[in-house]
């Protein structure tokens, strides 16, 4: 069995709805999203999947969705949309002081990615998920995105890892499907 793994770093903040500790506050991380693929046979070029294809189909869209955004669940977003729009307008308006204009909107996604989407209340970038974005739920979401875009008769996604913290120690959430009998 052949196995490949690659990932991408993404800077974004998140809010964990109802968290008993400090993660109820908006806070950020430098995340690493990592996907592993397996295949019993290589393709005609000698690859499980060309790393460029994995980046183009999975990791780059994840980066576009999440980079320099606030990730939150749909329920929290719906309850706070107006407040976020007011805050966003104030924050983006500050560009006039340095640029003399409002500048360009951040890069994001115009489509859904695994059910997640970008919203831009007041001009700030929010990544809205159907769930509260814990590392564990993001790992499952990443797995599902990769599975829907890459898996075929030859290639399977063996797992997804989300590194919430890299320093001083790694904090990692993983998702892999269960196997029969295990």
pLDDT digits (tens, 9 = 90+) for 108-123: 999 999 999 999 999 9
Domains, the chain: 2-175 (3.30.479.10)
- Phi, psi (degrees; rounded to nearest 5) at 162: -120, 115
* 52 has a pLDDT exceeding 80: yes
pLDDT digits (tens, 9 = 90+) for 131-159: 999 999 999 999 999 999 999 999 999 99
pTM: 0.94
Sheet holding 70-73, edge to edge: 117-119, 126-129, 70-73, 2-14, 27-39, 155-165, 171-175
Quote the CA–CA distance of 64 and 106 in Å, as a whole number. 9
Is residue 35 within 8 A of residue 6, CB to CB? The reply is yes
């Amino acid at each position: 069995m052949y196995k490949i793994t690659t990932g991408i770093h993404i800077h974004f903040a998140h809010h964990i709805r109802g968290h008993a500790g400090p993660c109820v506050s908006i806070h950020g991380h430098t995340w690493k999203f990592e996907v592993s693929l397996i295949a019993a046979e290589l393709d005609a070029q000698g690859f499980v999947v060309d790393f460029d294809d994995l980046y183009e189909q999975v990791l780059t869209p994840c980066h576009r969705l999440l980079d320099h955004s606030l990730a939150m669940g749909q329920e929290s977003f719906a309850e706070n949309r107006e407040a976020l729009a007011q805050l966003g307008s104030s924050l983006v308006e500050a560009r006039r002081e340095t640029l003399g204009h409002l500048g360009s909107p951040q890069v994001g996604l115009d489509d859904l990615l695994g059910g997640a989407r970008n919203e831009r209340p007041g001009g700030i970038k929010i990544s809205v998920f159907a769930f509260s974005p814990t590392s564990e739920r993001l790992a499952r979401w990443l797995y599902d995105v990769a599975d829907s875009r890459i898996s075929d008769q030859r290639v399977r996604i063996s797992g997804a890892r989300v590194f919430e913290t890299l320093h001083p120690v790694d904090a990692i959430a993983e998702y892999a499907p269960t196997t029969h009998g295990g």
